[in-house]
Chains A and B, each alone.
Chain A
Amino acid sequence: MAQLDIVDVGHAYAPGVEEERWALKPLKLTFESGKTYALVGPSGCGKTTLLNILSGLVTPSRGRVLFDGADVTALPTKARNIAQVFQFPVIYKSMTVYENLAFPLRCRRWDRARIDAKVQQVAEALDLHDRLGQPARRLTADDKQLISLGRGLVRDDVAAVLMDEPLTVIDPQLKHSLRRKIREITEQFRPTVIYVTHDQYEAMSFAQEVLVMKDGRAVQQGTPEQLFEAPSSTYVGYFIGSPAMNYLTVDRNDGPFTLGGRTLSVAWDIPHSATEVHVGVRPEYVKVVTDPGPNTFPGRLRGISDHGAQRVLEVEVAGQLVRAKTPREEGVPAGEEILVHLPRAKVLPYADGQLVLRS
């Protein structure tokens, strides 16, 4: 396992393009040894480019890539000792499951006994041990993806395991079990894992740290909890969470913030500024209440959507839409006119689309 640093790394696929249009704008990141990271963002945000720069499949237009402090920017993929799982399962069709798993070790000229022990260990962990003799091409897509993963895990000296949306082609029912398996495996083998996905659930449930990207930039890096509790920008608030964070335009005339003429207290006070201020609150924290009180606003129920164990209520408050996520057992409020409570500690101030930090 190694610590991966990227220093001022940026990349443009077409030469001579101005920096604003690079696929990956110059950025500095550190991936600590033995931790799992998720890169999330919409398609075309530079996730895969970043991953391919780490694995050496793409040479960055600028900057340096360091593995444990050693500069590997100019090294080819083969010399970087990295494992990568692609979006589509990649297996060697002419080989058996066993030969597939042993391939990286045979390339490294390990002796037979050592290869066998390692392959058995990894196959056991991946539940492939009873199919080692089968031709790999006969397996199902998710088992093939396990083989791709296994080829990364058999090398215990691997610097990092990179996964590029490995669950995209997997059936929804199997996705869940495969995700759990990948998690168990990474907990067992403790490699440095960088996991690319556009699925926020996958990112949040899988990684210790999540990096949100947009237009070739890293927008926020933090634990899943940090991203959920304190999105650094309205973009992250929209991207992480389902449904997205509520953002409301509020008024302020010298005194406190007001929403529809009523006072709204926010988590912390922010200095006055000329720019428009929004407040953000997660739907999970919006409560439907029966009694009036501080930070409680009258609203009109506009719609209800079912999210399995939860319901999402769409409430119009002072002409703006607020979503509230409530447990199913709480039932649906009777009547259209309801009261919603926005807990003060969870109401965060945003100016110019950025979270205003506590001063």
Chain B
Amino acid sequence: MDGLRRHKSMFLLPGLLTLFLIIIFPLLFTIRVSFSGWNVSNPRMNFIGGANYAAMLHDGRFWASITRLILLAGGTVVIQYVIGFGMALLVWREVRGRRFWRVLFLVPMMTTPVVMAAIWQTIFHESLGPVNDLLGTLGLSRIPWLTESGPALAALMIVEVWQWTPFMFLLLLAGLLSLPKEPFMAAAIDGAGTWRTFWKVTFPLMAPVSVAATIIRLIEASKLSDSVYVLTSGGPGSSTETPGYYLYIQGLRDQQTGYSGAMSLTYLVLMIVTLTGVAALLTRAFKLKGDS
């Protein structure tokens, strides 16, 4: 038995080793680094205690980026959910060209985020972009999309929504297609109209899928940084900076390794706590536990 068990562990070893190398080791290393004064002029693993954490507490730019991320992630995921659900409902039942629409809706998701952000940058360009051109044609004033903080945030959200709604759509459509037929037949027999059927049958039945899709998207959105990099580079000023992007600046561009280690750990813990809390809240709100 013991021999067999040892054999089994041998098979697990490559996986465990990889896991250790790409997750456990970097994590432990980051923890150690966060207590060191490692920076561009002093690349040493010394020990400076909690000085990095103390500095972080007073770093307004970091906390502002966290708040901004919550707004960006929460806002875009809600919008993605609403639009994605709507699109899924549109192509759920028999409609003309259903397959065509289903594939078309998925195209944005398949595009590389950086390429897509670059294209959107052109679209939002203040003097050359088609958006302002269109606004001008309609007699509206031009909007400084990428050079003023409010519009820049809005532009970032539009890009996020555009790219990730298809993912939401895909999960929700799969959910809709797997629903049993009987509750809908029962609702028709009980005399429920379209609106009532949606709120009393479709929506509650979709609760598990909705919660799962929302949480998956929130986890993804909490890592938001690539489109920020391409679209606004965190600007104007630092008004569109997300923690991911700010960490990139501090850690990789400015080489403040120790300090960014402290920030990334804090960011990780905050995200785990927040997302676990959100998941628990959503689960409770939809009464998913104890369901048969």
Chain A nearest CB from B291 CB (Å) reads: 6
Distance A174 CA – B18 CA, assembled complex (angstroms): 55
Number of interface residues of A (CB under 8 A): 25
* Residue on B nearest A95 in the bound complex, by CB: B200
Q: Are A92 and B200 in contact (CB under 8 A)?
A: yes
- Any B CB within 8 A of the CB of A108: yes
* Chain A residues, Cβ within 8 Å of B186: 84, 86, 90, 148, 151
* Chain B residues, Cβ within 8 Å of A217: none
Q: Are A137 and B200 in contact (CB under 8 A)?
A: no
Q: Are B200 and A103 in contact (CB under 8 A)?
A: yes
* Chain B residues, Cβ within 8 Å of A76: 188
Q: Are A94 and B191 in contact (CB under 8 A)?
A: no
Q: Are A57 and B205 in contact (CB under 8 A)?
A: no
Q: Are B292 and A83 in contact (CB under 8 A)?
A: no
Chain A nearest CB from B256 CB (Å) reads: 51
- Any A CB within 8 A of the CB of B15: no
- Any B CB within 8 A of the CB of A307: no
* Chain B residues, Cβ within 8 Å of A104: 190-191
- Given known pairs A86-B182, A107-B196, A138-B290, the reply for A57 and B188 (CB within 8 Å) is yes
- Any B CB within 8 A of the CB of A343: no
Distance A57 CA – B183 CA, assembled complex (angstroms): 13
* Chain B residues, Cβ within 8 Å of A57: 185, 188
Chain B nearest CB from A291 CB (Å) reads: 60
- Any B CB within 8 A of the CB of A131: no
- Interface set, chain A 133-170, CB cutoff 8 A to B: 135, 137-138, 148, 151
A-B CB pair tally, cutoff 8 Å: 59
Q: Which of B182, B185, B191 contacts A108 (CB 8 A)?
A: B191
Q: Are B196 and A92 in contact (CB under 8 A)?
A: no
Q: Are A137 and B292 in contact (CB under 8 A)?
A: yes
Contact code string A57-98 (vs B, CB < 8 Å = 1, else 0): 100000000000000000011100111101010101111000
* Chain A residues, Cβ within 8 Å of B190: 103-104, 107, 151
Q: Are A92 and B188 in contact (CB under 8 A)?
A: no
- Any B CB within 8 A of the CB of A55: yes
* Chain A residues, Cβ within 8 Å of B205: 93
* Residue on B nearest A162 in the bound complex, by CB: B189
Q: Are B185 and A107 in contact (CB under 8 A)?
A: no
Q: Are A90 and B200 in contact (CB under 8 A)?
A: no
Q: Are B287 and A135 in contact (CB under 8 A)?
A: yes
* Residue on B nearest A55 in the bound complex, by CB: B189
- Any A CB within 8 A of the CB of B64: no
Nearest 5 pairs of A and B residues by beta carbon: A94-B204, A107-B191, A104-B190, A90-B186, A77-B188
Which of A's residues lie within 8 Å of B, judged by CB?
Answer: 55, 57, 76-78, 81-84, 86, 88, 90, 92-95, 103-104, 107-108, 135, 137-138, 148, 151
Q: Can you list 13 A-B pairs, Cβ within 8 angstroms, ordered by A?
A: A57-B188, A77-B185, A77-B188, A77-B189, A84-B186, A90-B185, A93-B205, A94-B287, A95-B200, A107-B193, A137-B291, A137-B292, A151-B186
